Structure 1
Amino acid sequence: MGESWIRNMRDAGDILKRARNPAELAKALVPNQWLSRKVLNADPTASSAATPREIAESLRKLRNLLKAEALDEHGQVDYTTLGGSPTFAEMKATSGLLQAIDPGDIRDDDSRIAFWINLYNVLAIHGVLALGIRESVMEIPSFFGVVAYRVGDFVLTLDEIENGVLRRNAPHPATGTRLFGDDDPRLGLCPSHVDPRIHAALVCASTSCPPVAFYEASKLNEQL
C-alpha cells in the first residue's frame, strides 16, 4: 500500500491546507464512498402514479403505526423494536411511493411545510435503520448530507430538505454555503417564507430531538 497510501495522505494534506469549511475538510478526512448520496428508496415499489395527498395520508398512517409499535411514552423511537417490525416494512414501501409523485403539485405554504417536515422525520428514522447505526448518527460521516430520498424527479438529502427547501436555501449553518445553485429546480419546492419553528419539529435521530409527530397542513400553526 506504500506509494498509494503516501499519495492519498499528500492529497489529504493539500485539502486540509486549502479547506475553507467543514465540507471541504470532510473530503480530506472521510473515504469517498461515504460522501456519496445514499438514496434509500432507489428501488420503487409503486406501480402507478401517486399524489402528494395520498403520500400525506400514507405518512399519517405510518405515524400511527410508529406510535403503536415503536415510540416510547416520550415520543422517542425504539429503533431495536422498529427494525424488525412490520412498521419498518411499511416505511420502506411508503418511501418507494415517493418516486411516483410530483412534489411541485404541493402549492400552498402550510402543505409544503407539513409535507417536508414529515418526510424529513421519516427519512431520518429510515436512515438510522438502513445504515445499521447503533449509538449515534456520528457513526456515518456526514449522515445528514448523504442520506436521501428520491421524490419525483428530485433527490434530496436531509440537509437539502432542511436547509435547501424548508429554510429556502439559506446558508448552511455549518459551512456558510448554499446547497442549491441559482438555477436548481428544487428551489421551486420551497415555501414562500421560512418558519423558524420548524427546528423544533425536525427529528435528528438523537435523544435530544423533539418527539416524533405528524404535521397536518390544516393544523400546522397550532402544532408547531
Structure 2
Amino acid sequence: MEEFESSSLGRVTVYSIQGCPHCVQAKAILGGLGVPVCDVDVGKHPELRARVKELTGRSSVPQIFFNNIHVGGNDDLQKMAPEELQRLVNVVKKEPLPADAPPLPEENPTESPSGETDGAAELSLLLRELILKLFSEHLSADGKSVDYKGMSGDPAFERYCELAIQLQRVELLSLSREEKLAFFINIYNALVIHGNLRLGAPTNMLQRYKFFNYVSYLIGGELFTLQDIENGVLRGNRRGMAQLLRPFSKTDPRLQVALPDAEPLIHFALNCGAKGCPPIKTYTPKDIDSQLRTAAEAFLENDDSCLVDSGKREVRLSQIFKWYKADFGGTDEKLLKWVLDHMGDSPKKSSLQDVISAGKTKVIFLPYDWSTNGTH
C-alpha cells in the first residue's frame, strides 16, 4: 500500500493559512487519503491569493484541488459522498498532474533561517511563523481551542521566547504605515498567546484589565503593553475600555509610533484569547488593507458577529462594535453604513440593505463570549 501511495502521479493542493481551524480539519481528512498533499500557506505567499480567487471565485480558505479539480472548502470536503471522494483519490493516484494544475509558490532562496535581524517587519514575520506553527500544532480536533499546556512544552516555544527578546533592538520609526499595521497586529496576537502561556488565561473582568495593562514586550527600547499596542498605536492613541486617559501623553516617545488615526479594520484582526474574538491569521505589509478587509468580511458573515432580522428590523452585532463605536462613526446610523460597506456580497448584505432602506433600524449588541480559547 505504501509503495502505491508514493507512486501517485498527481497531487492534492490545499491553499490555507496557518492557525485556521477549517484548514486544520481539512488537512486532517486529506492526510488520511494516502495521496500526496501539497499545503500552500497563502499567508506566507500573498502573491497567490489573487490567483486562487481567480480560479475559485472565493477568497476564503482552505481551497482544495485534486489535480486540477476544484473541490471547494472544508465544508464541501466534509459533505462529499465517500464514492465521489474515492473517485478523486483515484484521479490523483492514476493521472499525472495536468498543465493547468493550480500554482505552487516559487522557491525563495533568500530566506534566512537564522532569525538574526534588526528589521521589525522581518522579525515580526519570524515570530509570527513560530507562534502560528505552535498554534496550529496544538489546536483541538475541532479547531476551536488551543492546548496551551502542550504548547508551552514544545521546544519551538523556547525558540519563540528567544526571538521575542530581539524586539528590543528593532527600529520602529522607520516602519511605513503598512509595515506598522502588520507588525503590531502580529505582535499583539503573539503577545496574547505568550501571556496566556506564562500567566494563564484571565477569567474575570479584573484579571482581564490587569492582563491587558501589564502583559508587555520591550520593543525598540520602549515598553508596550497589549493596551498600548491596541489603543495607543493601532487606534491612533484613543482611550480604550475602562481607560480615563489616552495611552500616550504628549511627551511620551511612543506617541511617534502611533498611527495618525484609528484604523477600524484592526478590530477584525486582533485576537484577545477569547472565543468571541476573530480568528488568528498572519498579516503581511503587502496588501495589508485588502487582508484586513477580507478579515472584516469573514467576521461579518459569521452569525455570531452579525445577524440581520428583517421581520423585526433588527441588526444584532458583536460587542466589538459597541466598545469601539467611535471608530465606526460614533452613531448607530454611521455604524450600520460602515458594516454594509464592509460586507462581502451575500444574502445577508442584501437583507441589511433592505432593513436600512426601510428606516428605523434597531441595533442590538450580542453577548460576548469571554471564555478562553484554551483547553482545560
When the two structures are superposed, what TM-score results if normalisation uses the length of structure 2?
0.43
Q: Provide, for residues 145-201 of structure 1, a one-character-per-residue CA deviation record: whole Å limited to 9, x for no partner.
A: 011100011101000111111111112231232111111110111123321011111
In structure 2, list runs of 5 or more residues that go unmatched: 1-115, 293-376
Where is the strand percentage greater, Structure 1 or Structure 2? 2
1:88 is aligned to 2:157 = yes
Give matches, 1:60-75, under 5 Å. Answer: 60-72=128-140, 74=143
Show the 5 A alignment for 1:1-224.
50-72=118-140, 74=143, 76-106=145-175, 108-131=176-199, 133=200, 136=203, 139=207, 142-224=210-292
Letter in 1 for 2:123: I
Higher RCO (C-alpha under 8 Å, 6+ residues apart): 1
User: Is the 1:76–1:211 contact (alpha carbons within 8 Å) kept by the matching residues of 2?
Assistant: no
Structure 2 counterpart of 1:182, one-letter code: K
Aligned to 2:309: none
Quote the Cα distance in structure 2 between the aligned partners of 1:189 and 1:75. 34
Q: CA RMSD in A?
A: 2.5
Change (3 A) 1:99 1:209: same
One-letter identity of the residue aligned with 2:169: A
Higher gyration radius (CA): 2
The structure whose residues are more often helix, as a share, is 1
The one-character-per-residue Cα deviations of 1:20-58 (angstroms, maximum 9, x if unpaired) are xxxxxxxxxxxxxxxxxxxxxxxxxxxx76221331331
Q: 1:80 Cα shift?
A: 2.3
Residue 32 of structure 1 aligns with which residue?
none
What amino acid is aligned across from residue 101 of structure 1 in structure 2?
Answer: V
TM superposition shift of 1:63: 4.4
In the aligned structure 2, how far is the partner of 1:78 from the partner of 1:136? 17
d(CA) in 1 for partners of 2:164 and 2:144? 22
In 1, are the aligned partners of 2:124 and 2:187 still within 8 Å (CA)?
A: no
CA contact (8 A) 1:127 1:147 kept: yes
- Structure 1: 5+ residue runs without aligned partners? 1-47
Secondary structure of the residue that 1:104 maps to in structure 2?
Answer: coil
| 1:19 alignment counterpart | none
Alpha-carbon distance in structure 2 between the residues aligned to 1:75 and 1:104:
37
Name the SS for the 2:216 alignment partner: strand
CA contact (8 A) 1:71 1:78 kept: yes
Alpha-carbon distance, 1:220 to partner: 1.2
Q: Offset of 1:102 from its aligned partner?
A: 1.5
**8 Å contact 1:63–1:213 — kept in the other structure?**
no
How far off its partner does 1:94 sit?
1.8
CA distance in 1, matches of 2:196, 2:275: 13
Report which stretch shifted further, 120-129 or 96-105.
96-105
TM-score normalised by length of structure 1: 0.70
Q: Indicate how the Cα distance of structure 1 residues 183 and 219 shifts in structure 2: closer, same or farther if over 3 A, else same.
A: same
Matched residues, percent identical? 35
Alpha carbons 2:238, 2:262 under 8 Å: kept: no
